[in-house]
Structure 1
């Protein structure tokens, strides 16, 4: 799916979830932490094997995945 070699998916690692190559850090974890308000610098401090480029690659991967022709149900605004 991604043209970014930094993000890989291997069924034998983290049940095949997309991860940063050479780590067990999932794209999902990166997105969750950023959504919760962590900064990239905080992510990098907490995960020394992670690079700024890998965080950007994870974001690009997630954006690419969301371009698929899928309808996502969200709660209706009140």
Structure 2
């Protein structure tokens, strides 16, 4: 899976941090939730506008 179609960087949004599909939730936000012990299912329940592919794209972004 390529993150390049999901992760966007806009200088005027969240100080240019990588965000998910142009929304205001950042890759860092998602990775922080995962690092704190939240499961993918819990994140999706708390943020219904996210998809599993969005979360996988964040992980892919981290490792590429």
- Report the TM-score, using the length of structure 1 for normalisation: 0.75
* Deviation beyond 6 Å, 4+ runs, structure 1: none
Q: Look up the SS of the partner of 2:49 in the other structure.
A: coil
Q: Which has the larger radius of gyration?
A: 1
Report how many residues are paired.
63
Q: Deviation digits for residues 37-75 of structure 1, max 9, x if unmatched?
A: 0000110111111000010001100111xxxxxxxxxxx
Please provide the CA RMSD for this pair.
Answer: 1.3
* Partner residue in 2 for 1:42: 42
Unpaired runs of 5+ residues, structure 2, are: none
Relative CO higher for 1 or 2, CA cutoff 8 Å, sep ≥ 6?
Answer: 2
* Partner residue in 1 for 2:62: 62
Q: How far apart, in 2, do the equivalents of 1:33 and 1:8 lie?
A: 19
- Report the TM-score, using the length of structure 2 for normalisation: 0.90
* Partner residue in 2 for 1:23: 23
Structure with greater proportional helix content? 2
Q: How far apart, in 2, do the equivalents of 1:41 and 1:3 lie?
A: 20
CA contact under 8 A between 2:8 and 2:19: conserved in structure 1? yes
